[in-house]
């Protein structure tokens, strides 16, 4: 989402390089450009005006900190002010210690309430909680059925009383049932409209009065830009919301809603939707988001994703096999499947310091990488157990059979075999130093064709404490 904003801000900072100190004119020129960049990103005008005024006030006449040059000083000030703009600190959910915690989701139709009710339930289940979903949208066709499907996907019970009962009564009955059956969180999915109207607000007020939710979360679509901020203001005026779930943050919107909603509405962004899958919901950390916007990556989120995706016991077994030089195609397939759990390649690259905003985003690149990985998976699955464990026995006739069985060409099979051998060689080098991550995978940067693993610069030691699992680009 912030690709254009990142590129333009970095362009502003680049023009400040070479200056040993900051004059008032330097700051004014930079702030003029920053103001234009933020306005182009669809950030609220008043928010932009106040933001640039604060940065200018701090930067003018301020001495360069020890170890920081002029552009780094500006980046530091901009980073701190952007973090404050986004809320400063992560805003956690409020949980009840006595009765079930009630979370009420609201928003306009099409914002993604039903889907994100399921995503939130999935996240809470991982945290050891026992949530229940409540079908409170009795108007939209198939809304109840959709929530039931979502509930089945995330292994969470769905409470419904059909489409003829008042939503406030449904929510109240759901809380009573949760208390009896030990569900400690109740997530109420409410109805939406195409626009804010009094009938919708009256219904939501009745639901709020019936169950007294501990959290009212507004689900807004980041793709709607400044309209998302207007929607948030309207719901907050009527319901006094506690926070925002910003959806479609993985899209190509300009990012103005994320940078404006806290200041304009006064309520924090608590979660962001970053994909279509049920695990594609992230806790919103202002400082991490600013780090991405400024092109400095987001190592902490990447580490958390890796820890959630990687089975530590399997990783230990994998390292033993590498040390014993027993890495085979079954291990290769297992590691590839774990890599895919980390998320789309473009999102992962944006979290790597030095790569964030630097790797060209070609249309369909992420989808093409996924296709390549599926093709490799099909080739490996077309091998016999013996072939996967002893790749050296794969001769010409076996390669033809594998190609026919996977729908690939013989050249594709040869390429996979070559990449596998190159990876074995590369990972043997890593095994002597201890494994900090999984091996690179086909279709990833630095792992394609005859050049995979051949870059001599890759032998240089990295100063980063986190080992990027996909090789170098």
Domain limits, the chain: 3-85, 101-296, 301-459
Distance separating alpha carbons of residues 372 and 410, to the nearest angstrom: 15
Residue 110 is assigned to a ligand binding site: yes
Residue 190 is assigned to a ligand binding site: yes
The arrangement of secondary structure in 301-459, i.e. its CATH architecture, is: Orthogonal Bundle (1.10)
The label of the residue with tokens 């970053």 reads 274
Q: Beta strand pairing status for 131-136 and 158-159?
A: parallel
In the numeric block, which tokens belong to residue 117?
A: 């009710």
Closest to 442 (Cα-Cα) out of 458, 421, 467: 421
Distance separating alpha carbons of residues 448 and 437, to the nearest angstrom: 19
**Ramachandran quadrant class, 92 (left: phi over 0; alpha: psi -120 to 50; beta: rest):** beta
* CATH superfamily to which 3-85 belongs: SRP54, nucleotide-binding domain (1.20.120.140)
Residue 243 is assigned to a ligand binding site: no
Residue 111 is assigned to a ligand binding site: yes
Residue 72 is assigned to a ligand binding site: no
For domain 101-296, is the CATH number 1.10.10.60?
no
Residue 8 is assigned to a ligand binding site: no
Closest to 112 (Cα-Cα) out of 213, 231, 215: 231
Beta-strand ranges (E) seen in 75-210 are 101-106, 131-136, 158-159, 185-190
What DSSP line would sit under 281-299, residue for residue? EEE--HHHHHHHHTT---H
What is residue 131's DSSP assignment? E
Largest alpha-carbon pair distance within the chain?
75
User: Long-range contact list for 423-427, CB < 8 A, 24+ apart?
Assistant: 423/332, 423/447, 423/452, 423/453, 424/325, 424/327, 425/453, 426/453, 426/471, 427/322, 427/327
Distance separating alpha carbons of residues 249 and 343, to the nearest angstrom: 14
Q: Do residues 427 and 437 touch, judged by C-beta distance below 8 A?
A: no
Residue 112 is assigned to a ligand binding site: yes
Distance separating alpha carbons of residues 248 and 342, to the nearest angstrom: 18
Q: Do residues 117 and 133 touch, judged by C-beta distance below 8 A?
A: yes
Residue 249 is assigned to a ligand binding site: yes
SS3 label, residue 186 = strand
What are the b/e assignments for 139-170, b being 16+ CB within 10 Å? Answer: ebeebbebbbebbeebebbbbbbeeeeebbeb
* Mean pLDDT for back-to-back runs of 10 residues, the chain (473 residues): 72 72 78 88 88 85 57 81 88 90 93 94 94 94 94 95 93 95 95 86 94 94 82 91 88 70 90 88 88 68 63 68 74 76 65 54 57 87 91 91 92 90 72 46 40 38 36 34
Residue 193 is assigned to a ligand binding site: yes
Residue 162 is assigned to a ligand binding site: no
Residue 333's pLDDT is 83
* Strands lying side by side in the sheet with 269-273: 158-159, 131-136, 185-190, 101-106, 215-221, 243-247, 269-273, 281-283
Residue 94 is assigned to a ligand binding site: no
Residue 58 is assigned to a ligand binding site: no
Distance separating alpha carbons of residues 224 and 112, to the nearest angstrom: 13
Residue 456's pLDDT is 39
Residue 298 is assigned to a ligand binding site: no
Residue 251 is assigned to a ligand binding site: no
Residue 435 is assigned to a ligand binding site: no
The label of the residue with tokens 């991405």 reads 292
Between the CA atoms of 242, 115, 303 and 333, what dihedral angle is there, to the nearest 10 degrees?
170
Residue 7 is assigned to a ligand binding site: no
Q: Do residues 3 and 358 touch, judged by C-beta distance below 8 A?
A: no
Distance separating alpha carbons of residues 272 and 285, to the nearest angstrom: 10
Residue 275 is assigned to a ligand binding site: no
């Amino acid at each position: 989402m912030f690709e254009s904003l990142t590129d333009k801000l970095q362009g502003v900072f680049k023009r400040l390089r070479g200056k040993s100190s900051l004059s008032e004119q330097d700051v004014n020129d930079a702030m003029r450009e920053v103001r234009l960049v933020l306005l182009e990103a669809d950030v609220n005008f008043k928010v932009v005006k106040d933001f640039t005024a604060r940065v200018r006030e701090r930067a003018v006449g301020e001495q360069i900190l020890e170890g920081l040059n002029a552009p780094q000083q500006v980046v530091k000030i901009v980073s701190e002010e952007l973090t404050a703009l986004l809320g400063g600190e992560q805003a956690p959910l409020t949980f009840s210690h006595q009765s079930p915690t009630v979370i009420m989701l609201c928003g306009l139709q099409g914002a993604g309430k039903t889907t994100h009710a399921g995503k939130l339930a999935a996240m809470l289940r991982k945290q050891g909680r026992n949530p229940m979903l409540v079908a409170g949208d009795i108007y939209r066709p198939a809304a109840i059925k959709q929530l039931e499907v979502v509930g089945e996907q995330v292994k969470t019970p769905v409470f419904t009383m059909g489409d003829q009962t008042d939503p406030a009564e449904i929510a109240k009955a759901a809380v009573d049932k949760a208390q009896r059956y030990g569900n400690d969180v109740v997530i109420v999915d409410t109805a939406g409209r195409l626009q804010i109207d009094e009938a919708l607000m009256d219904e939501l007020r009745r639901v709020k009065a019936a169950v007294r939710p501990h959290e009212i979360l507004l689900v807004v679509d980041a793709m709607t830009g400044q309209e998302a901020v207007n929607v948030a203001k309207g719901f907050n005026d009527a319901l006094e919301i506690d926070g925002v779930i910003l959806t479609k943050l993985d899209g190509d919107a300009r990012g103005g809603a994320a940078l404006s909603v806290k200041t304009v509405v006064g309520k924090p962004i608590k979660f962001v939707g970053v994909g279509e899958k049920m695990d594609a919901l992230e806790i919103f950390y202002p400082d991490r988001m600013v780090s991405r916007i400024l092109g400095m990556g987001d190592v902490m989120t990447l580490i958390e994703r890796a820890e959630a995706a990687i089975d530590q016991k399997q990783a230990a077994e994998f390292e033993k096999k590498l040390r014993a030089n027993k890495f085979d195609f079954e291990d290769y397939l297992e590691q590839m499947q774990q890599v895919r759990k980390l998320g789309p390649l473009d999102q992962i690259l944006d979290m790597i310091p030095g790569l964030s905003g630097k790797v060209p985003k070609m249309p369909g690149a992420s989808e093409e990488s996924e296709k390549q990985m599926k093709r490799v998976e099909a080739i490996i699955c077309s091998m016999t157990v013996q072939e996967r464990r002893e790749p050296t026995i794969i001769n010409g006739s076996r390669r033809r059979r594998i190609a026919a069985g996977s729908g690939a060409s013989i050249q594709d099979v040869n390429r996979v075999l070559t990449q596998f051998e190159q990876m074995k060689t590369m990972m043997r080098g890593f095994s002597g130093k201890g494994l900090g991550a999984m091996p690179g995978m086909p279709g990833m940067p630095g792992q394609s064709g005859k050049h995979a693993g051949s870059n001599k610069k890759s032998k240089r030691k990295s100063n980063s404490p986190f080992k990027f699992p996909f090789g170098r680009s």
